[in-house]
A and B are shown apart, each in its own frame.
Chain A
């Protein structure tokens, strides 16, 4: 399996940098990832996301325009435990690097610019809230994690967004945007000279912009919701539903949380995907026609699975999912489960190979792994050599004590009744 060449550097401040080489590609990708996200401790929910938006504001205006003047794209995202700022261009490397570090390292929050941002973020939230999926996902997260930051939307609530101000943003920034919590990544076709140049420039810039020497606070407090099965009022015709599995016993497998996540995803796909005997039964009973969307997530504040689908008989499907996930693979069709694992090993090889073709995706994934001390290529090798019995034992252990909840939309006849 091909692993791309990576050059790493750690600076005395704790700031880290890496360059991932992809020969023959024209795109140059640069990003800074911060080990702080929406579910991490913050007084007002949505602060991490608001910060991501507001860092683009500088004294002279929106810094995006400076990137665009150089012909580069710039963007950012906030997830549960990370925030990332990144840009893509084809040239002007030193200028792009300066802009990127300035973007992250020079907060400029005023009463006016914060007030201007509030309606924009409210509109972003409104855009998501109009989608039936959002209501289901939101319900599952609250049922699994209560009203903690993990339990509510990344953007916060309408109330918390309104309460955010310049002082509160600056406080969150100073507490969390610490050099030891940051990681730089460059990805593209860089010559030896360019690699050296990048590291030199990054060395200077991280010293210039990231002088915050605050203490890193670790908070892994996990809150719990009520884990109920909910029926939500529905305005439209959507039949979307969701199942949430709160993983009490999620932990590292062979020193890796990513590997644990991968094994669980394979196990759940083995049980519930379109190839499974279970899905064939659902199809036979006309309960399901489209595949389920399965996702395993781990965060500092809680670990969970979400399973989404659509069905006009969602109650029955939810019950069938619950029954299926609660027993070990050992009691299933073993021949199928073994074949499925063998196929998944091939699929993961393919996934690793494909990831090398999408520089932005590759860079973001690599940055996240570096932050968490993970190594996808090492995990790939561990997966390839893992036997079936070992895989089943790991999955059983990871699922031990799991708690399940669900959410579905009410149907017209239910409302009328």
Chain B
């Protein structure tokens, strides 16, 4: 049986093959917590390999097969992701190392989770420990706080990283079992990637993973979450050497692909590299920061500028950032810089074809967003005009300011 959602392309140049298996669920606080735990449990062990050493050994024996299992967030969707990377058999020339063996091993590792109390408790300890260490870093703490404030009235979207630690602690083996049967295994599924003998790999996947979920529509029409209206400012003190400043600009409507592309150019123009406006003004001239970023979270209707700053220079840096965005809204655009920004994005896309992670991310987006492939991305980047940047800036409203000192 051929599954509609199994699409493996020809591997032209990498020494490794990659298979991504994805399940699309609605993003809720509970789904994020439970998938974070399940992901860690599955990375540790499975029914076929019921302990960490056994599973690690099985993957090592397959020439260091790498299995990453992680929930990814796209607006109101959670994509439970299995990303498997393995050395192409033709690189190794081991008669026992074949696509058939590899795909069987993949199925053994990912298809039947081990729902064991000890494994669950150990996995909980792992992710809660990792989370605690992650949050000790001021930039992570600040980002986490930012989103908790942004979505204070929508708790389903407020959690970052692993989700709610309290929820994770309360999950039982029974709850996991029920979630897998009733919530996970019924969602639309997708298998994409590349391999040297892509036809053989496709046939093997179709044979090993016969499932109705691979026939369902994986793409989703409406992924974006409208920006809440907050207009809030918060400050916290931790006694850090460096302050974290996050300025969150909302926009009222979700962006179609065209708008997202304009958003990317806007990000690049503002803080993409050393030539960018904010780098020049905040880092080089003011000497306030080592790093400054501008990211368009299109699915969250959020444009976020973040920087690690000298605590004495937070106010002037904030003024500069706001002023630079205002200048764009008034049509004061450096045409040379705009040209550089577009060229840089085009080259990033070209070089991205040399990167497995980037390629897989593009393939996923292509299948998740209904309009992703309707647009020639490179052509759209080339045709972004100063007026488009101006309109983008005019649509932004400063919604949340957060400072951690």
Give chain B's interface residue range (CB within 8 Å of chain A). 35 or more
Cross-chain contact B273 with A64 (CB below 8 angstroms) = yes
Contacts of B238 in A (CB 8 A): 235-236
A343-B350 contact in complex given A127-B308, A289-B126, A289-B129, C-beta closer than 8 Å: no
- Interface: A14 (CB within 8 A): no
Out of B13, B273, B355, which one reaches A68, CB within 8 Å? B273
Q: Report yes or no: B129 in contact with A116, Cβ–Cβ below 8 A.
A: no
Q: Is B239 among interface residues, defined by CB-CB distance under 8 A?
A: yes
In the complex, are the beta carbons of A346 and B64 less than 8 A apart? yes
Selecting from A19-27, A201-209, A258-266, the interface stretch reads A19-27
B:325-364 near A, CB below 8 Å: 336, 340, 343-344, 346-347, 350-351, 353-356
B115-159 residues at the A interface, CB under 8 angstroms: 122, 125-126, 129-130, 132-133, 136-138
Q: Which of under 10, 10 to 19, 20 to 34, or 35 or more describes the interface residues of A?
A: 35 or more
Find chain B residues with CB under 8 A from A351 CB.
64
Residue of B122, B275, B290, B351 contacting most chain A CB atoms (<10 Å): B351
Give the residues in chain B near A126, CB-CB below 8 Å.
241-242, 290, 308, 310
Say whether A132 contacts B53, CB under 8 Å: no
Chain A hits for B351, CB < 8 A: 26-27, 88, 90
Q: Does A194 contact B (CB under 8 A)?
A: no
CB contacts (< 8 Å) of A383 on chain B: these are none
State the CA gap A354–B16 with chains docked (Å). Answer: 7
Q: Inside 8 A of A226's CB, which chain B residues have their CB?
A: none
Q: Provided the pairs A68-B275, A120-B290, A127-B291 are in contact, do residues A26 and B52 lie with their beta carbons within 8 angstroms? A: no
Which residues of chain A are within 8 angstroms of B130 by Cβ–Cβ distance? 290, 310
B288: chain A residues within 8 A (beta carbon): 119, 123
Closest Cβ–Cβ distance, residue B357 to chain A (whole Å): 10
| Inter-chain contact A237/B136, CB cutoff 8 Å | yes
- Known interface pairs A123-B309, A357-B356. Does A290 touch B129 (Cβ–Cβ under 8 Å)? yes
- B274 near A68 with CB under 8 A, answer yes
Report whether A357 and B16 are in contact in the complex, using a CB–CB cutoff of 8 Å: yes
A325: interface (CB < 8 Å): no
Closest chain A residue to B285, Cβ basis: A116
With A62-B284, A123-B290, A289-B126 already in contact, the answer to whether A239 and B133 are too (CB < 8 A) is yes
The residues of B that contact A88 with a CB separation of less than 8 Å are 351
Do A132 and B136 touch (CB < 8 A)? yes
A residues less than 8 Å from B289 (CB atoms): 120, 123
Once bound together, how far apart are the Cα atoms of A351 and B64, in whole Å? 8
Give, as a whole number of angstroms, the nearest-CB distance from A30 to chain B: 14
Residue of A with least CB distance to B118: A283
Interface segment, one of A43-51, A69-77, A142-150: A69-77
Q: How far is the CA of A120 from the CA of B290 in the complex (A)?
A: 5
A-chain residues with CB within 8 Å of residue B350 when the two chains form the complex: 26, 90
Give chain A residues whose Cβ lies under 8 Å from the Cβ of B122. 283, 289
B242 touches A123 (CB 8 A): yes
Closest-by-CB residue of B relative to A129 is B241
Q: Does B190 contact A (CB under 8 A)?
A: no
22 A-B pairs with CB atoms under 8 Å apart are: A64-B275, A68-B273, A68-B274, A69-B275, A73-B273, A73-B344, A74-B274, A116-B284, A123-B290, A127-B291, A129-B241, A130-B137, A130-B241, A131-B136, A132-B136, A239-B129, A275-B56, A310-B130, A310-B132, A349-B92, A353-B16, A354-B87
| 19 further A-B pairs in the complex, CB-CB below 8 A; given A62-B284, A65-B275, A356-B15 | A23-B13, A26-B350, A56-B274, A69-B340, A90-B347, A119-B288, A120-B287, A122-B310, A123-B242, A126-B310, A239-B132, A276-B53, A289-B122, A344-B60, A349-B63, A350-B64, A357-B15, A357-B356, A358-B355
